[in-house]
């Protein structure tokens, strides 16, 4: 089977700055590839290339074998769930309306939209009876991010993009949501591209890890390869790990 | 107060409302779409805002005067007054439409695009609802200002409550001055309160 997402010698230039250099990697169907990197490493730029929020200045990003430049971007984006750190929830929509947005854009029946929103809110741990009619400003940061995840899953997209979704949460809530993400993933079998600067999160959630440094992919591999890697940037991330992980190197 | 004066006050108040209402309708119909366009064509912003700014700085009596010799737009009468009032009202509406849309949280806009909204859906479902309060605030400022400025329309035969004011000035008659000024002030207050209420009712968050 061909990879779900494929970067082929992708470069990105925004203004005078080269953000990505000659980036090539695949995201296989069903895997969770975590892109790990410092701030400014180009990981968010790489993510935005997948749903066409940005287009490559050289090379191609292929989704199901077709370059993003050849996709109808509206169609493409409705098949990709997108979660960002700031959530980007619509402040003038209720929680249920936020979750039901893509199904509504896709012309689902109102009854089906409501049922889908209820189901997803339950799945992410927000009882619909209590939360469906609230507005985003009436939620805590963790609850907002749960709604963001439910919204991304609404139209059952085969591909999920997550850009530091738990980055702004307190540590306890973050661990809760990471765990919930793992639980959700078991039942759903989505292809996922996950961006983070948190090495522990990368080890916890990634089936593979890619490390970006100054717009270049300096490492790509599984968890044990990551822990054994001698690449300087990867080792810089090793130093952030607790003893528990270091023991396994 | 004689019944003749009362009837005149009523007539001129209605005429005043007509001047303001029509001018505001035209100004909103021009400035709101123009403001939306400016969010899409950023290079036009400087020019269009510059024009609206200059219009706003011309003293109102002078603007009415400048319009008189112009063909089509100018001359003596109501239509010249309306052209001038529209030119005055453009800036606050234009600027607030632009600001309201540009101030939409970038994360919200990015999410909307990333979820597959078309440009039109982004505008109608996200940007305009979230900018409503700011746009209405611009409309309110423009309306209240226009109610005052419209009294000068009488200077070029535009009618309205300014007729009393100019007549009162000419004959040093305080009663006439008040007959023009008090209703104009009351209309302005009522419009301010009314539009504030609408603003409150319509704003989505």
Q: Does A74 touch chain B (CB under 8 A)?
A: yes
Residues B187/B13, Cβ–Cβ less than 8 Å: yes
Q: By CA distance, what is A153's nearest residue in B?
A: B115
Work out the angle at residue B93's Cα, subtended by the Cα atoms of residues B32 and B104, and round it to the nearest 5 degrees.
Answer: 70
Among residues B102, B80, B79, B196, the alpha carbon closest in space to that of B143 is found at B196
Contacts of B108 (CB under 8 A, 6+ apart): A88, A89, A90, A91, B126, B130
pLDDT at A100: 96
B interface with A, Cβ–Cβ below 8 Å = 105, 107-118, 121, 126, 129-130, 204-205
Considering CB atoms only, which of A51, A78, A86 is closest to B107?
A: A86
Q: Which two tokens stand for residue B175?
A: 């009663």
pLDDT at A52: 94
Could you tell me where the DSSP H helices lie in B58-173?
60-67, 78-102, 106-114, 119-121, 128-149, 162-170
Average pLDDT over residues A82-99: 94
Does residue B201 surpass a pLDDT of 80? yes
The sheet carrying A191-196 orders its strands as A80-84, A159-163, A191-196, A32-37, A208-213, A216-221
Does residue A246 surpass a pLDDT of 60? no
Q: Which residues of B6-41 are buried (b: 16+ CB within 10 A; e: fewer)?
A: eeebeebbebbbebbebbbebbbebbbebbbebbee
Q: How far is CA B118 from CA A106, A107, B121, B123, in A?
A: 12, 14, 5, 9
pLDDT at A245: 57
Q: Which two tokens stand for residue B196?
A: 């504030």
**Residues of chain B with C-beta less than 8 angstroms from the C-beta of A88:** 105, 107-112, 114
**Strand partners for A11:** A58
**Residues of chain B with C-beta less than 8 angstroms from the C-beta of A91:** 105, 108, 130, 204-205
Kindly determine whether residue B105 and residue A82, on different chains, have CB atoms separated by under 8 Å: no
Residues B93/B31, Cβ–Cβ less than 8 Å: yes
pLDDT at A249: 52
Average pLDDT over residues B16-33: 95
In tens, the pLDDT along A170-219 reads: 888 899 899 989 988 888 889 999 999 999 999 999 999 999 999 999 99
Does residue A244 surpass a pLDDT of 60? no
Kindly determine whether residue B108 and residue A90, on different chains, have CB atoms separated by under 8 Å: yes
Does residue A54 surpass a pLDDT of 70? yes
**Strand partners for A37:** A212
Which H helix or E strand runs over A192?
strand A191-196
Q: Residue B52 and residue A33: Cα distance in Å, rounded? A: 52
């Amino acid at each position: 089977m061909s990879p779900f997402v494929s970067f082929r010698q992708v470069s990105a230039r925004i203004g005078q700055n080269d953000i990505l250099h000659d980036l090539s990697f695949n995201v296989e169907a069903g895997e969770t590839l975590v892109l790990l990197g410092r701030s400014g490493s180009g990981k968010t730029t790489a993510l935005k290339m997948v749903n066409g929020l940005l287009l490559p200045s050289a090379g191609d990003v292929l989704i199901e074998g077709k370059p993003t430049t050849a996709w109808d971007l509206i169609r493409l984006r409705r098949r990709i769930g997108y979660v960002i750190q700031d959530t980007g929830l619509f402040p003038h929509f209720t929680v249920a309306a936020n979750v039901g947005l893509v199904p509504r854009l896709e012309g689902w029946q109102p009854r089906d939209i409501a049922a889908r929103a209820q189901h997803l809110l339950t799945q992410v741990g927000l009882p619909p009876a209590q939360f469906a009619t609230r507005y985003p400003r009436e939620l805590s940061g963790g609850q907002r991010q749960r709604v963001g995840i439910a919204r991304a899953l609404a139209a059952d997209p085969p591909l999920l993009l997550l850009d530091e979704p738990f980055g702004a949460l307190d540590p306890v809530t973050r661990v809760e949501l990471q765990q919930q993400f793992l639980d959700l993933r078991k039942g759903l079998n989505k292809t996922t591209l996950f961006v983070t600067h948190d090495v522990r999160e990368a080890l916890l959630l990634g089936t593979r890890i890619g490390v970006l440094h100054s717009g270049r992919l300096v490492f790509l591999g599984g968890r044990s390869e990551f822990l054994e890697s001698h690449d300087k940037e990867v080792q810089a991330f090793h130093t952030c790990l607790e003893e528990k992980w270091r023991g396994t190197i | 107060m004689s019944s003749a004066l009362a009837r005149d006050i009523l007539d001129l108040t209605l005429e005043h409302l007509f001047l303001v209402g029509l001018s505001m309708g035209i100004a909103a119909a021009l400035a709101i779409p123009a403001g939306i366009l400016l969010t899409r064509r950023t290079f036009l912003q400087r020019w269009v805002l510059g024009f609206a700014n200059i219009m706003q700085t011309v003293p109102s009596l002078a603007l009415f005067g400048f319009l008189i010799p112009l063909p089509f737009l100018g001359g003596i009468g109501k239509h010249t007054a309306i052209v001038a009032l529209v030119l005055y009202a453009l800036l606050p509406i234009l600027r607030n439409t632009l600001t309201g849309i540009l101030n939409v949280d970038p994360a919200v806009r990015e999410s909307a695009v990333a979820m597959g909204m078309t440009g039109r859906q982004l505008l109608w479902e996200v940007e305009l609802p979230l900018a409503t309060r700011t746009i209405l605030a611009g409309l309110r400022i423009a309306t209240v200002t226009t109610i005052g400025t419209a009294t000068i329309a009488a200077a070029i035969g535009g009618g309205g409550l300014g007729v009393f004011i100019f007549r009162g000035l000419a004959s040093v008659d305080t009663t006439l001055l008040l007959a023009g000024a008090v209703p104009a002030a009351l209309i302005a207050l009522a419009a301010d309160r009314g539009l504030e209420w609408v603003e409150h009712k319509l704003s989505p968050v």
